A and B are shown apart, each in its own frame.
Chain A
Amino acid sequence: MRYVRLIRSFVTVAFQNVLAYQLNFWVSLLYSILNLGTGVLAVVVLFSQVEAIRGWTPASTLALLGSYLTLGALRQLFIGPSLEALAGMDGEIWSGTFDFTLIRPVDVQFLASVRHWRPLALLDLALGLGVLVTAALRMGTTLTLVDVFAFVISLVAGLVILYAILLAFAGLVFWSPGFLFTWLFDALFQMARYPVGLYPGWLRLILTWVVPVGVMTTVPAQALSGDLSVGALIGSLVLAGMLFAAATWLFRTGLRRYASASS
């Protein structure tokens, strides 16, 4: 209960912050629309030349884009800003102000993961969900309740995987302060824009097993198109659970290495 109350006050503060800067709202809206527009146009351009690629139709690729945008928006909403403040450029671990976070009487991992919110990411979230609805309408088949259920479950699994990888990358900063692991992840995350099956074999292995960004969007898109096997769904859930445990362990082990910093 205390944690819920804390989150509520973090969100309130974030909203008050955003309301102070009006122009920033319009600039963010422009960014969101550009992000959506380039994503959709890329799909349109691709399918103006081919009918389908390895079984991926325009509608199912659009569903994948929707999952990508939705996950990206959720990341920008709180995971990204919170972990960036911790481990990003001039972050707390870098500057040593992490000391003040450590002495708070709350679980450190909780605080580090949900402290900063970026309400403007709700714009991206709305657009991402819009793409998902459009894709579902264009599938041409009626969605069963089971499909929707499988989709929601796999998207949640995707979000947990995303969180786990980001937490692990943030935790690595304890070993190598100054290296911008989140930037490295940003680059790899973009690969989730397209189905993992479109990449050559060696890259598919990396995107499934080493840095499983491919799983995050491919599995939900398959669920929405109705060609997801039960095995793949359970697999992604198991993967999410394992990664969450491993990342938590890594973060907490790293935490013990933290020896503050000063200039």
Chain B
Amino acid sequence: MNLRGGWALIRATWLSWVQHRGFFFLLAFGWMIPPLIYLFVWSTAAGGGAIGGFTRGQFVAYYLILILVNQLTYSQTNWTVGDVIRYGGMNQLLLRPLSPFFDAVSSEVAGKVVYMLFVIPATALLALVLRPEAEITMTNALAFVPAVLMAWALRFLWGYALALLAFWATRADALLALQDALVFLLAGQVAPTSLLPGALQTVSTVLPFRYMVGFPVEVLLGQLAPAGVLTGLAYQAGWLLIAWLAFRAMWHHGVRRYAAVGG
């Protein structure tokens, strides 16, 4: 492991991204909008009462935190790694004395730094205008830390593994669109997962998508009983292990198949 080289790469990527911040702020703004729409729709629907235990202020709190978590865990490598493989850019990365994995990690860190520069002030401003209501206890805040870290790792590895399908099929990005649709429906974006109708709710508990976004938010806001938190963390760890194994296997077999394209 060439850790020093890895760190240098991470720093260089991050600094160059901050220079282009206008572009990345625009991206971050675009990603904020869908959860923001559902924030407005649900808080209007709740009005003065409550829906499924959520009052207006609680919907606002849920979605504002969801915006932050979504941005923190969002895996852009999903799309970029596939393109690098398709267009032959992988050549250069493979020639470096450094695993291409570092390249993904460095754009991941760079991205998070740049997006947060936009998203944190924007959410803070929205919080001032929309008046969220939340009680965050110390225990929940502590449980949130592993939940959000695992959510990030899971979404990152899962996305990377899916992107590696580009080694086998040129239009593997179609699967990424399917994944985005499932994240939208099952990860707590269209509605908090506890409000999903019967079958969808069961599916969302089993599949990994809730554990990429919605679960940490539920943990932080204390919407889960202690047993629910532990089961959730166990699911998260399980899916994380599966994603890691899938990533390892696909990288191992895929990179042998890689034949460069382009010039």
How many whole Å from B23's CB to the nearest CB in chain A?
7
Chain B interface: which of A104-112, A114-122, A150-158, A195-203? Answer: A195-203
Chain B 45-77: CB-based contact to A (< 8 A → 1; otherwise 0): 100000110000000000000000000000000
- Whether the Cβ atoms of A42 and B190 lie closer than 8 Å is yes
**Given A191-B37, A194-B41, are A49 and B30 neighbors across the interface (CB < 8 Å)?**
no
A234: chain B residues at CB < 8 Å are none
CB distance from B107 to the nearest CB of A (A): 18
- Is the C-beta of A263 less than 8 angstroms from some C-beta in chain B? no
Q: Which of A48-68 contact B (CB under 8 A)?
A: 48-50, 53-54
- B27 CB contacts on chain A under 8 angstroms: 183
Instruction: Find out whether the CB atom of B44 lies under 8 angstroms from the CB atom of A190.
Output: no
Residues B1-35 near A (CB distance < 8 A): 22-23, 26-27, 29-30, 32-34
Interface residues of A in 35-52 (CB under 8 A from B): 37-38, 41-42, 44-46, 48-50
Interface residue? B244 (CB, 8 A): no
Decide if B41 touches A45 in the complex (CB within 8 Å).
no
A249 to B136, CA, bound (A): 53
A191 in contact with B41 given A31-B177, A45-B200 (CB within 8 Å): no
Interface positions of B from 165 to 184, Cβ below 8 Å from A: 171, 174, 177-178, 181, 184
Judging by beta carbons under 8 Å apart, are A27 and B40 in contact? no
Contacts of A42 in B (CB 8 A): 38, 185, 190
Cβ-based interface call for B197 (8 A): yes
Q: Is the interface of A mostly helix, strand, loop or mixed?
A: helix
Q: Which residues of B contact A210 (CB under 8 A)?
A: none
- Tell me the nearest residue of chain B to A44, going by C-beta: B197
- Is the beta-carbon distance between B33 and A53 smaller than 8 angstroms? no
Q: Are A38 and B41 in contact (CB under 8 A)?
A: no
Complex interface: chain B residues within 8 A of A27 (CB): 171, 174
CB distance from A62 to the nearest CB of B (A): 14
Task: Tell me, yes or no, whether A184 is within 8 Å of chain B by CB.
Answer: yes
Nearest-CB residue, chain A, relative to B189: A42
Q: With an 8 A cutoff between CB atoms, is A188 at the interface?
A: yes
Q: Please count how many residues in chain B sit with their CB below 8 Å of the partner chain's CB atoms.
A: 33
Residues on the A chain within 8 Å of B26, using CB: 180, 183-184
Per the bound structure, the CA–CA distance linking A183 and B44 in Å amounts to 27
Does chain A have a CB within 8 A of B196? yes
Give every chain A residue within 8 A of B38 (Cβ-Cβ): 42
Distance in angstroms between the alpha carbons of A8 and B190 in the assembled complex? 41
- Chain A residues contacting B200 (CB-CB under 8 Å) are 41, 45
CA distance A48 to B30 in the complex (A): 28
Task: Collect the chain A residues with CB atoms within 8 Å of residue B122's CB.
Answer: none
Let me know if B178 and A198 touch, CB within 8 A: no
Give, as a whole number of angstroms, the nearest-CB distance from A34 to chain B.
Answer: 4
Whether the pair B37, A45 counts as a contact (CB closer than 8 A) is no
Q: Are the C-beta atoms of A30 and B178 separated by less than 8 Å?
A: yes
- Write out, one digit per residue, whether chain B residues 172-212 have a CB within 8 A of any chain A CB (1) or not (0): 00100110010011000011000111001000000000000
**B38 and chain A: residue at smallest CB distance:** A42
Residue of B nearest to A191 (CB): B37
Q: Cβ of A46 and Cβ of B174 under 8 Å apart?
A: no
What is the bound-complex CA distance between A198 and B52, given in angstroms? Answer: 19
**B29 proximity list for chain A (CB < 8 A):** 184, 187
- Contacts A38-B181, A38-B184, A199-B40 given; indicate if A49 touches B51 (C-beta within 8 A): yes
- Tell whether A227 is near chain B: CB-to-CB under 8 Å: no
Given contacts A27-B174, A30-B174, A42-B190, contact A187 B30 (CB under 8 A): yes
Which residues of A does B touch, CB under 8 Å?
23-24, 27, 30-31, 34, 37-38, 41-42, 44-46, 48-50, 53-54, 179-180, 183-184, 186-188, 190-191, 193-194, 198-200, 202-203
B interface list, Cβ under 8 A from A: 22-23, 26-27, 29-30, 32-34, 37-38, 40-42, 44-45, 51-52, 129-130, 171, 174, 177-178, 181, 184-185, 190-191, 195-197, 200
- Given A38-B190, A46-B45, 18 further pairs, Cβ under 8 A: A44-B197, A45-B185, A46-B41, A46-B191, A49-B45, A49-B191, A53-B44, A54-B44, A180-B23, A180-B26, A183-B26, A183-B27, A184-B26, A187-B33, A188-B33, A191-B33, A199-B40, A199-B44
| A-B CB contact pairs (8 Å), 12 listed | A24-B171, A30-B174, A31-B177, A34-B177, A38-B181, A46-B41, A50-B51, A179-B22, A180-B23, A198-B40, A198-B45, A202-B129
